[in-house]
Amino acid sequence: MLSQALTQFALRLICGMALMLATSDYRKTSSGFYRIQMLVVMGLSVLASMFAGSGGTVEQNAILSSIWLTVDCIAIAVLAFLGSVLWMLERKAGAYRLVLLILAAAVAGLAIGAYRNSDAVSPAWFQWISDVSSGAILGGAMTGMLLGHWYLTAPEMSLDPLLRMTKFYGVAAVVRLLVSAVALWWGWPEIAGLTMVMLLLMRWCFGVLAPLVTYLMAWRILKYRNTQAATGVLFVGVIVTFLGELSGILLFFELGATF
């Protein structure tokens, strides 16, 4: 279970980071920032590939899906390395296309993981949507926080990229709220015992409600063009989303529901 949880978490974070980079305006953002993100994605994909083949059941071609998941993670690592090189060389258009390929590969990896878990309460397609929305909120907090830190080294950079990324983080938080509400209605009968109730509370408090609060705080602060304070709030967003999504993954492997 631990190996599957690590793979799922890494893939969700990769998907979210790639999504945020794909929706940002690379013409207004320093190439060095994108290069660092590619290196982070490469590290996450290598971690995911190490555990992608573990876990799962023998039924429904689980071994084959594990192989495909491992190949997918390795492909992401290669694309991220090439992307870091292109960003370093200021080949922005080509590097941006690699970001789109990484996003597509991460989405495909989440789909493989969703269909591999055949004992889930909710359908595989809904689990896949939930995984992508989880990735979006993880990536929104992480990428926004790292971009905020980048203003310390590039203070002349336009504030528009951070405003845009924070806005998408808010959109991701709203989508996660809606998906979690549907999942709660779907999987509520599976909740039993104090441990599961506590995990559910952690999942909702840290992974659903707290990101909305951090988004609103960061957005209001950025209205005053205070990037350092907004970065601090987004750092809190990283902590709460990590705790919330890890709780959600544990709930899924225990109960078979996305929440």
Task: Tabulate helix, strand, coil % of the chain (nearest 5).
Answer: 80, 0, 20
pLDDT value at position 66?
80
pLDDT value at position 53?
66
Three-state SS for 257?
coil
pLDDT in tens, 212-230: 999 999 999 999 989 999 9
pLDDT value at position 1?
64
Tell me phi and psi for residue 59, to 5 degrees.
-70, 160
Distances (CA, A) of 164 to 58, 83, 101: 44, 22, 22
**CA 175 – CA 231 distance, rounded (Å):** 22
pLDDT value at position 61?
55
Show pLDDT as tens, one digit a residue, over the chain (259 residues). 677 888 889 999 999 999 999 998 888 888 999 999 999 999 999 999 988 766 555 454 566 678 888 999 999 999 999 999 999 999 999 999 999 999 999 999 999 887 776 556 778 888 899 999 999 999 999 999 999 999 888 888 889 999 999 999 999 999 999 999 998 888 787 787 788 888 889 999 999 999 999 999 999 999 998 999 999 999 999 999 999 999 998 888 887 777 8
- pTM of the full structure: 0.92
Work out the burial of residue 165: count CB atoms within 10 Å of its CB; fewer than 13 is exposed, 13-18 middle, 19 or more buried.
buried
- In this structure, the number of other CB atoms found within 10 A of the CB of residue 227 comes to 22
Domain layout of the chain by residue ranges? 2-255
CA angle, residues 55, 57, 62, in degrees to nearest 5: 90
> 238, 141 in Cβ contact below 8 A?
yes
pLDDT value at position 58?
46
pLDDT value at position 239?
96
CA angle, residues 198, 201, 202, in degrees to nearest 5: 85
The second-level CATH assignment, the architecture, of 2-255 is Up-down Bundle (1.20)
**CA 144 – CA 61 distance, rounded (Å):** 38
> What is the identity of the amino acid at 134?
S
